Amino acid sequence: MSALKSIWQPSIAELIATFTFVFVGVGAAGASTWLGTAPGDTGLILVGLAHGLGIMIGVMTVGRISGGHLNPAVSVAAWATGNIGTPRLIAYVIAQLAGATLAAIALDRAFNIDGLGVHKVRIETGTAFGLEAILTFFLVFAVFALAIDPRGNKTWAPFAIGTVIALDHFIAIPLTGASMNPARSFGPALVHGEWADHWVYWAGPIAGGIVAAVVYVRLFGDDTLRKRANNPFKEQEGG
C-alpha cells in the first residue's frame, strides 16, 4: 500500500500542476485573442510570460511532492537517467496528459475559440524537430542542474525553469508555438482534433530532454547521479 501511495499521490500532484500550467498558458492565449492582441506584438510577450509563470507556480507548489515535472519529456529524461522508475514514469505521463486535456476542455468551454492552444509547425518539419529539441535541452538541463542534482539550488529552480520557458516562447512562438512539452501539445490537439505534425511535439522534446539529461549527468553530475544513471530501472526515492 505504501508503494502504491508513493506513486498515486505525486501523480495526482502532477495532474493538478499540469492543469494549472496549461490553463494559465493557453488561457492567456485565449485572452489575447479575445482582446485582439496580435501574436507578434504584446501578445507574444503575454503568452510567453504566462507559460513561464504557469510552470513556475506548478513546480513551486508540487516540487516537494512529485519533483515538479509537469512534462513527459522531463519525466522520460529522469527515467532514462535512473531518477524515477518505470511505474512512476507511466503514472506521471498519464497524469500530465490528463491534466493538460482537462485544462484544454475547460478553456474551450470558456473561450469557444477554434484551435485554441493547438501548436502548429510553420517551418520545415525537420527544422521544427531540431528547434523543439534545442529548446527542451535548455529546459531539462536547468531542471537537472537545479532540481534533480542533490547539490542544486532548489529554491531557485522554479524561477529558473519558468524563465527558460518564457524565453523559449519568445523565440519559437512564431515558428512551432514553443511546446517543449508533449502534454502541453497533446491536450489542445485532442480537444480540437488537430494533429498535423503532432509527432514533432513528442519526438523533439523527448530527444532534447534525454540528451540534456545524459550530458548533465555524465559531465557535471556527482556520484549519486552517475550511480542512478548506471541503474536506470531502479526506482529512486523522491523521484
Kindly report, residue by residue over 147-192, the tens digit of the pLDDT: 999 999 999 999 999 999 999 999 999 999 999 999 999 999 999 9
- Within a domain: 239: no
Task: Give 36's DSSP letter.
Answer: T
Residue 92 lies in a domain: yes
Query: Quick one: what percent of the chain has pLDDT higher than 70?
Result: 92
Reported as a pLDDT band with limits 50, 70 and 90, residue 238 is: very low
Computed over every residue of the chain, the mean pLDDT equals 92
Residue 237 within a domain: no
Q: Does 234 fall in a domain? A: no
Number of domains making up the chain: 1
Q: How far apart are CA 142 and CA 116, in angstroms?
A: 29
Q: What is the pLDDT of residue 37?
A: 59
Q: Which domain holds residue 197?
A: 2-229
Residue 32 inside a domain? The answer is: yes
Q: Judge contact between 209 and 77, C-beta under 8 A.
A: yes
Residue 33, in any domain of the structure:
yes
pLDDT greater than 50 at residue 1:
no
219 is a domain residue = yes
Query: Burial level of 27, CB count in 10 A (0-12/13-18/19+)?
Result: buried
pLDDT digits (tens, 9 = 90+) for 35-52: 875 555 678 899 999 999
Q: Is the pTM here over 0.85, yes or no?
A: yes
DSSP, collapsed to helix, strand or coil, labels residue 67 as: coil
Rounded to an integer, the average pLDDT of 122-150 is 97
Give the model confidence (pLDDT) of 59-98 as tens digits.
999 999 999 999 999 999 999 999 999 999 999 999 999 9
CATH code assigned at 208: 1.20.1080.10
